[in-house]
Amino acid sequence: MRIGVLTGGGDCPGLNAVIRAVVKTAAHQYHDEVVGVRDGFSGLIRNKTHPLDLDRVSGILPRGGTILGSSNRDNPFKFAEYVGGKMVQQDVSNVVVENYRKNNLDCLIVIGGDGTLDIAHRFTEKGLKVLGIPKTIDNDLFATDVTFGYDTAITTVMEALDKIHTTAESHHRVMVVEVMGRDAGWIAVAAGLAGGAHIILIPEIPFDVEKIAQKIYERKARGKHFTVVVAAEGAVPAGGDRTIKRLVEGSSETVRLGGVGEMVAQEIERITHLETRCTVLGHLQRGGSPSAFDRILATRYGAAAVFHAHEGHFDHMVALRTPKIVAIPMTEALHQMKRVEVTGSHVVTARRVGISFGD
């Protein structure tokens, strides 16, 4: 077979491990050719491709990011570009189909989150043979136990919390750490548990600043003169709205969140009169070398995708159903977000050890 592979959406640790596994499995197991598509679906719009062989993927297992580049702006069905000084959206999906055929591809492996895989699914309706691999540091993609990149992201946040603890304790401060998580609080709750946070704010549980202050007072009464708060960017106050940083025209996500950490910090300081600082980790969570868990999971996904391509399981996504990697219909995974269950193990465990969710 001649297999194309692209990475779409936001980058994350483990993408290169997937690419490496696709190429190595294709070469060693099936004697296939692999074609790398540059910068997500943009590469099939502009026909930016190059061969991927064993030499090209040598040494990339520990590297973060993606050697193919990525994009979360180039939806071929709503391709945004300036025409006559105005931003317009056009359907250029037929150009993608044409370039797929120009490159003599037998199938296309698409590595991405919900948005990228939704585009991939739409191309199966145009006759392309597509397989998906789930990717998001937010771990919010439905139908798979875990997505690669998540374990590395929460480790990055945990290490930051370890450092925040020492300065918070030294200066008797309240420290708010804002992390990623637009609609699901997986990073916040898992990293908060691992990093010893005292308060965790997630989109699934609206918070009350007075309740946050109450937790801080309780700690102070026990002689604990510092508090560490982890806030997902999508956390919302009870009866309020998400904190929007800005709007970006032409992006797949026009609403950019950000600022909830600073808002919470200001409110804590106003109520408690305790010095409160905010740290925003931002894209640090997407970077760095993938953890052992993510390297293994990414390798399993890549190898399984090539296997299922040869089995003819197109319009499917490989998924972790512990302990197995299986292929499920793409439609089972799309448009359903996996959110933190408010009565689930993570939240229940956190409450048992005294962590507050501001409610």
> How is residue 13 written in tokens?
């640790």
Residues 298 and 315 in one domain: yes
36 and 20 belong to one structural domain = yes
Same domain, residue pair 159 and 46: no
Contact 110, 133 (CB under 8 A): yes
345 and 201 in a common domain: yes
Provide, rounded to the nearest whole percent, the portion of the chain with pLDDT above 70: 98
| Domain residue limits at 64 | 2-148+290-322
Same domain for 33 and 116, yes or no, is yes
Pair (158, 141) in one structural domain: no
Task: Supply the pTM of this predicted model.
Answer: 0.92
Q: Do 30 and 67 sit in the same domain of this protein?
A: yes
Query: Within a domain: residue 359?
Result: no
The pLDDT, as a whole number, for residue 252 is: 59
Residues with catalytic function: 138
pLDDT (0 to 100) of residue 249:
65
Q: Are residues 171 and 70 in the same domain?
A: no
User: What are the tens digits of pLDDT across the range 72-131?
Assistant: 888 999 988 877 778 788 999 999 999 999 999 999 999 999 999 999 999 999 999 999
Would 327 be classed as within a structural domain?
Answer: no
The CATH number of the domain where 79 resides is what? 3.40.50.450
Sheet holding 49-52, edge to edge: 49-52, 33-37, 2-7, 107-112, 130-134, 316-321, 324-329
| Structural domains of the chain, count | 2
Cα separation of 348 and 217, whole Å? 22
Least confident of 40-49, 201-210, 246-255: 246-255
**What CATH number is attached to the domain comprising 271?**
3.40.50.460
Give the whole-angstrom CA distance, residue 335 versus residue 43: 25
Residues 164, 247: one domain?
Answer: yes
312-353 pLDDT, tens digit each: 999 999 999 999 999 999 999 888 899 999 999 999 999 999
- The tally of CA atoms less than 13 A away on the side-chain side of residue 112 is 30
Query: Are residues 216 and 113 located together in one domain of the fold?
Result: no
Six token digits for residue 86: 């105005």
| pLDDT (0 to 100) of residue 85 | 77
Domain presence at residue 329: no
CB-CB contact of 168 with 344 (8 Å): no
Report yes or no: 166 and 195 within 8 Å, Cβ to Cβ: no
CA geometry: angle 278, 184, 248, nearest 5 deg: 70
Together in a domain, 181 and 32: no
- Is 249 a domain residue? yes
**DSSP 8-state assignment for residue 76:** G
Average pLDDT over residues 10-37: 97
Distances (CA, A) of 116 to 39, 70, 91, 322, 359: 12, 11, 16, 24, 35
Residues 6+ positions from 43 with CB-CB distance below 8 Å: 6, 37, 49, 68, 69
Q: Is residue 336 part of a domain?
A: no
> Is pLDDT of 250 > 60?
no
Residues 202 and 101 grouped into a single domain:
no
Task: Please write the tens of the pLDDT for every residue from 257-307.
Answer: 889 999 999 999 999 999 999 999 999 999 999 999 999 999 999 999 999
Asked if the model's pLDDT at residue 206 lies above 70, the reply is yes
How far CA 9 is from CA of 115, 138, 199, 273, in Å, comes to 7, 12, 30, 42
More confident residue, 249 or 71: 71
